[in-house]
Structure 1
């Protein structure tokens, strides 16, 4: 019974060259891609890219709408807070209102006498 023979450097080089030749022969035997198939693939890729671009635009538009709604909500909350603050303040009467109230008191006093 023969033992295991360690391949020499020359044997390994020959095996590598044979493997390379077989791989090249396999690639050469492969038929060329039909131009119609290439055109179909390009159309499919273009359609996919267009759909992705539309999806990105829709996502960007939805994000902008959400930000706008958030900004409007913040503005409305600020306006409501300002209105509540103004409602809490005591009313400052104008000089005409104070004169009218004084005249009304004077007229009521004269009417009692």
Structure 2
């Protein structure tokens, strides 16, 4: 009697296992289109995320390039302003030196005339 009970239990377990395996396969087959749809949705979301990331990076690169070009323009303007100031200062110095040379030449001419007049009178 004992063997009969063991074989019954073993048979019942095998039947239950087969039933569960069939139910699992049926559930897998039923869920396959749903899984495919979810997978496609996840892929679409990931692609959209990557596209948004690429757009943000592009905007950042463009902003960086704009900032760099503005900085270069500011440096160029500052350099031009510095050169203009230096040129104006050089012109001013040149005029002062030229005026000084002209005054010295006039003074030397006056001294030479006085000396010539003093020599002619003597």
Under a length normalisation based on structure 1, what TM-score does the superposition of the two structures give? Answer: 0.53
Residues 1:29 and 1:77: Cα distance change in structure 2 (over 3 Å) = closer
Residues 1:48 and 1:62: Cα distance change in structure 2 (over 3 Å) = same
1:85 paired with 2:75, answer yes
2:40: which partner in 1?
A: 50
Aligned residues: 77
Q: CA deviation at 1:31?
A: 7.8
Matches within 5 A, 1:18-97: 21=10, 22-30=12-20, 32-33=22-23, 38-90=28-80
Gaps of 5+ in 1: 1-13, 94-113
Residues 1:53 and 1:31: Cα distance change in structure 2 (over 3 Å) = closer
The answer to which structure has the higher helix fraction is 2
Gaps of 5+ in 2: 85-122
Higher-Rg member (1/2): 2
- Please, what is the CA RMSD of the aligned residues? 3.4
Per-residue Cα deviation, 1:73-111 (whole angstroms, up to 9, x for no partner): 110000010010011013668xxxxxxxxxxxxxxxxxx
